Amino acid sequence: MLSLGLAFTSATAQSKKEEKELRELAIKYQDKYGIKDVDHLSAATKRALKWDQSLGNEWFIEFGEPQTLKGDLAYEEGVVRRDPSGIIQENGKYYVWYSKSTGPTEGFGGDMENKKVFPWDRCDIWYATSTDGWTWKEEGIAVARGKKGSYDDRSVFTVEIMKWDGKYYLCYQTVEGIYNVRVKEKVGMAWSTSPDGPWTKLDAPVLAPAENGIWKGTEDNRFLVEKKGDFDSHKTHDPCILPYKGKFYLYYKGEQMGEEMTFGGRQIRHGVAIADNPLGPYVKSPYNPISNSGHEICVWPYNGGIASLITTDGPEKNTIQWSPDGINFEIKASIKDAPHAIGINRTADNEKEPTEALRWGLTHKYNNWNYQSIMRFSSERKTTHVAPGEKSVKGKEEKAENMHK
């Protein structure tokens, strides 16, 4: 009983200490947060007082409407072009890689060995070049599906690019065999000494789902499980490799067997695997998962750490986060209307501003369920909020479409 009493006393003392600290913060920031009474603080006000007080608006951005591209990446009926990689600049040209397939989506059921179940099914990885980022020339296949029986014989898609030490590395998702509901998706890699190839594929995947989940029964149903396993027990998706602190950090999206829905949407989380060499082997971090939300991976270096755009799913969706060590992320800004599966400008000066890498890049648009096309996105920082005709403190007039209605 004595130990319980001591624990209770300790907890009470800690609670009083926190309340005292919050009251001191409330006094200090009463005017900033418009607090009516520092002795009566709501849960929301307490959360606000705990925010990092150094947070400004340097991370806050707004995205514009995606714009149509010209040339070979303009919408083409009967063709899927989606999931663009980051953009690099070589030989006086911009380069981008992407998933490409043809024909309509037929969904699950029936003859799945010969059907196309998703737009990203039966894809190869293609690439295109541009001198201005608007008009693109499709150059051809970079990485094709493997021979029957290989780990990537069904589809290769959702690709990212990394340049390191004079070589180029593509990492991407793979599907093997029949694309059924319970299929497990892995991450493959190819490398080249030129962005134009030829590309040498690795014989084995560099990342695969955890093997500690247990399906329930034999029905092809991903929600029926005996044991869910790790956050990535079903699929490893959307890979992106960054050189970081002398190692290589492979960020990826994990899907869990028996995936659930949360108040923020699908139960999607991100993880990271780390290697000493770009080609691996990659070892998953013991801290995984490193996010509780997100969808496609969008990460970039900034200020000695790693920034991440978190979209679509989970309780922290639609945020930009930053980590000082590439693993422990904190929210820096909330955003809206982020484009799908964006490929950022990896030639940007990342240290100019926290979100400089997001100023422009490529995304994809669902023209319809069967066919998607690649578009161009842009964003801008928002530092002031004024009405039409009004001037901000800095004397800059904001665009009318950004005004409060």
**Peptide bond before 239: cis, by omega within 30 degrees of 0?**
no
pLDDT for position 405: 30
Q: Where are the domains of the chain?
A: 2-50, 61-381
C-alpha to C-alpha distance for 355 and 267, rounded to whole angstroms: 26
C-alpha to C-alpha distance for 90 and 88, rounded to whole angstroms: 7
Query: Is residue 400 helix, strand or coil?
Result: helix
pLDDT for position 400: 32
Question: What is the model's pTM?
Answer: 0.91
Residue with tokens 């309340």: 19
Query: Is residue 210 helix, strand or coil?
Result: coil
The dihedral built from the CA positions of residue 308, 309, 315 and 318, taken in this order, carries a sign that is positive
Residues facing residue 299 across a β-bridge: 308
C-alpha distances out from residue 133 to 70, 88, 395, Å: 9, 11, 32
pLDDT for position 12: 80
- Other residues' Cβ atoms within 10 Å of the Cβ of residue 113: 10
Helix (H) or strand (E) holding 362: strand 360-366
pLDDT for position 382: 85
pLDDT (tens place) for every residue of the chain, 405 residues total:
456 666 556 768 778 898 999 999 999 999 989 999 999 999 999 999 988 776 778 999 999 999 999 999 999 999 999 999 999 999 999 999 999 999 999 999 888 888 999 999 999 999 999 999 999 999 999 999 999 999 999 999 999 999 999 999 999 999 999 999 999 999 999 999 999 999 999 999 999 999 999 999 999 999 999 999 999 999 999 999 999 999 999 999 999 999 999 899 999 999 999 999 999 999 999 999 999 999 999 999 999 999 999 999 999 999 999 999 999 999 999 999 999 899 999 999 999 999 999 999 999 999 999 999 999 999 999 888 888 888 766 544 334 333 333
The per-residue DSSP string of 298-360 comes to: -EEEETTEEEEEE-SSSTT-SEEEEESSSSS-EEEEE---PPSS-EEBTTS-TTTSTTGGGSE
pLDDT for position 7: 58
183 CB-near residues (< 8 Å, 6+ apart):
175, 176, 177
Residue with tokens 């909020």: 385
What CATH number is given for 61-381 in this structure?
2.115.10.20
pLDDT for position 396: 43
Residues facing residue 138 across a β-bridge: 128
- Are 154 and 121 spatial neighbours (Cβ–Cβ below 8 Å)? yes
Nearest Cα neighbor of 211 from 186, 233, 187, 180 is: 233
- Other residues' Cβ atoms within 10 Å of the Cβ of residue 227: 12
Q: Could you tell me whether strands 67-68 and 88-90 are parallel, antiparallel, or unpaired per DSSP bridges?
A: unpaired
In the numeric block, which tokens belong to residue 331?
């929210």
- Are 380 and 61 spatial neighbours (Cβ–Cβ below 8 Å)? yes
* 289, amino acid identity: P
Secondary structure letter of residue 12 according to DSSP: H
pLDDT for position 5: 63
The alpha carbon of residue 166 and the mean position of all alpha carbons in its chain are separated, in whole angstroms, by 26
